[in-house]
């Protein structure tokens, strides 16, 4: 009596959410699939058609292991669980298995692993089709339950869209917490990145943010500050505060040439003009990018604590950046409820240096002369 050989393959090892799915297929001797290829090599339409054909002409079984089982064991052991369940679900059990890959499993049936077996063995290719289509359909169902993640598009693989939605909306019940990007997203759910324009402004803002967030990462990025000596003084004050608060302080690059090149066209603008809008956007852009890199779901800025800053423009910029990078912008006017007054009180108490101009050369000239002619030449900045 000829022994029954089952081909085994899985789908869903790499995704950040959902189950891993395994299929086992026995192809009868009189059945052939001329167009059969492994699941990644055929179009979705062809794959769906083959899926129905394979189910109707073969002996097959499908099993899966949930995201929680993946977290509790590991992806290899969870794949083993899925294979066992696929075999259990078959109406007729195989005598021997050919399994795609090279992992070692503890199975009730003898087996042989074949690297790239889905390209070499028809039964493994058939199992690849069944596992892939079955899992894709399941992820589409999950997309109805959790529409914000776009599971129907990326099937929970680590795409830029998935990363963006994970950062923006946090972790869903079907995400795999043992996978690094999800782990960081879960860990950082109650954390925020705060762009710090100066230490005095940060005082009352941090005090307020501690009411909502477990951890506040400070980001000092202000290439607008002139001269360099002034920049270093403000940075040093921010370092002292971070040390006092036991907070992490990340220092951005002091690239005044880049800032000057961007804003020079508006050198004659008064404070709160177009030059300031570009300056807000430049600094907040780097904050949003860093928040995404660190898997922090929220970011905001101390800029709104100043009575001289236009909070509506800052909120508008924050909204655009939030959409672009998938990081929530905390839209809060920190000068309200005596926020600015409180920053002055704390700064005096802690003996923090308070500057008397915004930071850039143009605001310095306005402070000194009451107007800005733009008389300084570009070279004088460097």
Q: How confident is the model at residue 38 (pLDDT cuts 50, 70, 90)?
A: low
Structural fold of domain 188-381: Rossmann fold (3.40.50)
Task: Kindly state the tokens that stand for 289.
Answer: 């990018």
Mean pLDDT of 292-316: 93
Q: How confident is the model at residue 46 (pLDDT cuts 50, 70, 90)?
A: confident
Q: In whole angstroms, what is the distance from residue 171 CA to residue 291 CA?
A: 16
Residue 351 carries which DSSP code? T
* 165, 171, 172, 175: CA torsion to nearest 10: 100
Nearest residue to 227 via CA among 344, 371, 368, 370: 368
Q: Which CATH architecture has domain 5-149?
A: 2-Layer Sandwich (3.30)
pLDDT over 50 (residue 377): no
Instruction: Output the pLDDT for position 39.
Output: 65
pLDDT over 80 (residue 379): no
Q: How confident is the model at residue 18 (pLDDT cuts 50, 70, 90)?
A: very high
pLDDT over 80 (residue 88): yes
In percent, the amount of the chain with pLDDT more than 70 equals 95
Tell me if residue 354 falls in helix, strand or coil: coil
Q: What is the pLDDT of residues 69-78, one digit of tens each?
A: 999 999 999 9
CA-to-CA separations, 155 to 93, 140, 141, 276, 292, in angstroms, rounded: 30, 8, 10, 42, 21
Lowest mean pLDDT among 107-111, 157-161, 374-378: 374-378
> What is the per-residue DSSP string for 165-229?
HHHHH---TTB-TTSHHHHHHHHTTTEEEEE-S-HHHHHHHHHHHTTT-SEEEEEE--TT--SHH
Is-contact 83 11, C-beta < 8 A?
A: no
Lowest mean pLDDT among 26-30, 37-41, 72-76: 37-41
Q: What is the pLDDT of residues 125-174, one digit of tens each?
A: 999 999 999 999 999 999 999 999 999 999 999 999 998 888 888 899 99
Q: What is the pLDDT of residues 242-257, one digit of tens each?
A: 999 999 999 999 999 9
Q: How confident is the model at residue 49 (pLDDT cuts 50, 70, 90)?
A: very high
Nearest residue to 70 via CA among 183, 160, 184, 189: 183
Q: What is the pLDDT of residues 183-236, one digit of tens each?
A: 988 877 889 999 999 999 999 999 999 998 989 999 999 999 999 999 999 999
Instruction: Output the pLDDT for position 98.
Output: 97
**How high does pLDDT run on average in the chain?**
91
Instruction: Output the pLDDT for position 125.
Output: 94
pLDDT over 80 (residue 367): no
Q: What is the pLDDT of residues 323-358, one digit of tens each?
A: 999 899 999 999 999 999 999 999 999 999 999 888
**Same fold for the pair 5-149 and 188-381:** no
Q: In whole angstroms, what is the distance from residue 235 CA to residue 221 CA?
A: 9
Q: In whole angstroms, what is the distance from residue 14 CA to residue 142 CA?
A: 17
What backbone torsions phi and psi does residue 222 show, to the nearest 5 degrees? -145, 70
What backbone torsions phi and psi does residue 297 show, to the nearest 5 degrees? -80, -15
pLDDT over 80 (residue 287): yes
Instruction: Output the pLDDT for position 271.
Output: 78
Model pTM above 0.95? no
Q: How confident is the model at residue 44 (pLDDT cuts 50, 70, 90)?
A: confident
Instruction: Output the pLDDT for position 197.
Output: 96
Nearest residue to 202 via CA among 297, 341, 329, 303: 303
Instruction: Output the pLDDT for position 374.
Output: 40
Q: Where are the domains of the chain?
A: 5-149, 188-381
Instruction: Output the pLDDT for position 340.
Output: 95
């Amino acid at each position: 009596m000829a022994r029954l050989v089952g081909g085994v393959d899985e789908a869903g090892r790499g995704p950040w959410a959902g189950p891993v799915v395994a299929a086992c297929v026995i192809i009868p001797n009189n059945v052939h699939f001329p167009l059969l290829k492994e699941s990644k090599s055929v179009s979705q339409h062809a794959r769906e058609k083959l899926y129905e054909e394979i189910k109707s002409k073969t002996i097959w079984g499908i099993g899966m292991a949930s995201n929680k089982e993946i977290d509790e064991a590991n992806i290899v052991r969870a794949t083993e669980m899925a294979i066992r369940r696929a075999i259990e679900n078959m109406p007729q059990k195989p005598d021997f298995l050919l399994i795609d890959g090279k992992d070692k499993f503890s199975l009730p049936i003898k087996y042989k692993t074949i690297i790239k077996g889905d390209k070499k063995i028809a039964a493994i290719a058939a199992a690849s089709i069944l596992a892939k289509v079955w899992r894709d359909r399941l992820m589409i169902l999950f997309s109805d339950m959790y529409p914000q993640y776009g599971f129907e598009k990326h099937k929970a693989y680590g795409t830029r869209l998935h990363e963006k939605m994970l950062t923006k909306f946090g972790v869903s019940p079907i995400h795999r917490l043992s996978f690094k990007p999800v782990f960081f997203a879960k860990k950082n759910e109650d954390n925020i990145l705060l762009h710090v324009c100066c230490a005095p402004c940060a005082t009352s803002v941090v005090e307020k943010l501690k009411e909502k967030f477990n951890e506040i990462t400070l980001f000092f990025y202000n290439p607008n500050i002139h001269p360099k000596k002034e920049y270093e003084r403000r940075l040093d004050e921010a370092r002292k505060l971070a040390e006092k608060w036991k907070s992490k302080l990340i220092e951005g690059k002091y690239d005044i040439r880049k800032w000057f090149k961007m804003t020079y066209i508006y050198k004659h603008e008064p404070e709160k003009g177009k030059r300031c809008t570009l300056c807000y956007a430049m600094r907040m852009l780097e904050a949003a990018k860093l928040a995404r890199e660190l898997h922090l779901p929220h970011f905001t800025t101390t800029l709104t604590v100043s009575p001289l800053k236009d909070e509506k423009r800052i909120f508008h910029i924050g909204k655009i950046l939030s959409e672009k990078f998938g990081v929530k912008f905390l839209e809060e006017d920190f000068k309200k409820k005596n926020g600015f007054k409180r920053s002055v009180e704390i700064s005096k108490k802690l003996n923090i240096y308070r500057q008397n101009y915004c930071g850039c050369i143009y605001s310095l000239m306005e402070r000194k002369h009451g107007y800005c002619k733009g008389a300084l030449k570009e070279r004088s900045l460097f």
